[in-house]
């Protein structure tokens, strides 16, 4: 019921960003004190590190939603505030301890597929498969969650349980992806609305269309970044931000 629900607006991406920033900074100091390259880091831990931070941020949103009985748009505003604090903490850590690794970390923060290999995809595979298996199982609850909580309960839905499960799955998928490639902004904002537009009244098509369109848009943004930047590749996050801001403004206008 929230047209502005997006990992980068709800604070999930920022939670993942903070934990990955801490991981990149301090594991290098502990295990590779003479290294300046991400390649020498144990990259298998990046998705779990990002997931931990994203789920923690999602947990804060969850507690605020139920304890304060917030509306969807107010939850988004709280998410923006929480995300701003988490992002500020990450930037503060980079400024204080980034040293020669600032360039590497800032490249990751901009969201990029640069130097990503099939190893990164393999590390993401368990989280992605688990999420995609669960999605069809919670299809009916997702349909009912579009209604007000009282209406959803009248259809026999265990509202809090299903809301919690949907939030857990979405946070886990988003946060693990951020852990691998960095926070690619606005993809989660644009893709679902485009999928709904293409699906029309056929709601069962929204989820599969979202999966396909998400991959296609990220790949297209990567291609544009490579073509525009030539030798200096423009990060995907920059491309999606340029396209995503007009989409956000349009959604804000409709929400108002």
Closest CA to 180 of 50, 80, 54, 30: 50
Asked whether residue 168 falls in the same domain as residue 211, the answer is no
The pLDDT value recorded for residue 209 is 92
CATH (domain of 40): 1.10.3470.10
Dihedral sign (CA 183, 199, 135, 168): positive
Q: Does residue 111 share a domain with residue 233?
A: no
**Is the same domain home to 205 and 147?**
no
Q: How far apart are the first and last CA of the chain?
A: 14
State whether 27 and 127 are in the same domain.
Answer: yes
Contacts made by residues 127-131, CB under 8 angstroms, sequence distance 24+: 127/47, 127/51, 127/172, 127/173, 127/176, 128/173, 128/176, 130/172, 131/169, 131/172, 131/173
Are 138 and 153 found together in one domain? yes
Q: Residue 232: what pLDDT?
A: 73
Name the nearest CA neighbour of 15 among 92, 83, 112, 88: 83
Judge if 9 and 31 occupy the same domain: yes
Query: Is the domain of 173 the same as that of 229?
Result: no
Q: What is the pTM of this model?
A: 0.80
Sequence-distant (6+) residues with CB within 8 A of 36 are 100, 101, 104
Q: How many domains does the chain have?
A: 2
End of a domain among 125, 151, 183? 183
Report pLDDT for 86: 92
Look up the domain containing 214 and give its range.
184-256
- Of 127, 155, 183, the residue at which a domain comes to its end is 183
Q: Do both 36 and 46 map to the same domain?
A: yes
Q: Which two tokens stand for residue 206?
A: 């929204």
Specify whether 8 is located in the same domain as 76.
yes
146 and 210 in a common domain: no
Q: Are residues 100 and 227 in the same domain?
A: no
Q: Which residues of the chain have pLDDT under 50?
A: 38-39
The dihedrals phi and psi of 182, each to the nearest 5 degrees, come to 90, 170
Choosing from 162, 183, 204, the residue where a domain stops is: 183
């Amino acid at each position: 019921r929230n047209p502005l629900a997006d990992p980068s607006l709800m604070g999930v991406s920022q939670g993942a960003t903070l934990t990955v920033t801490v991981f990149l900074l301090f594991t290098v100091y502990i295990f590779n004190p003479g290294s300046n390259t991400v390649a020498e880091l144990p990259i298998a831990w990046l998705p779990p590190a990002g997931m931990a931070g994203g789920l923690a941020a999602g947990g804060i949103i969850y507690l605020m939603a139920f304890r304060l009985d917030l509306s969807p748009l107010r939850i988004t505003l709280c998410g923006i505030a929480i995300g701003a604090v988490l992002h500020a903490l990450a930037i503060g850590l980079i400024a204080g301890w980034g040293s020669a690794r600032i360039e590497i970390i800032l490249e990751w923060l901009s969201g990029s597929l640069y130097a990503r290999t099939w190893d990164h995809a393999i590390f993401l595979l368990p989280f992605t498969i688990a999420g995609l298996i669960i999605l069809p199982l919670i299809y009916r609850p997702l349909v009912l969650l579009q209604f007000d909580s009282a209406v959803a309960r009248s259809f026999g839905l265990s509202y809090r349980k299903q809301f919690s499960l949907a939030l857990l799955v979405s946070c886990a998928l988003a946060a693990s992806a951020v852990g691998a490639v960095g926070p690619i902004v606005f993809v989660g904002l644009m893709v679902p609305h485009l999928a709904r537009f293409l699906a029309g009244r056929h709601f069962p098509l929204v989820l599969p269309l979202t999966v396909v369109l998400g991959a296609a848009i990220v790949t297209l943004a990567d291609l544009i970044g490579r073509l525009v930047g030539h030798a200096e590749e423009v990060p995907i996050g920059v491309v999606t931000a340029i396209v995503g801001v007009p989409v956000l403004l349009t959604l804000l206008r409709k929400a108002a």
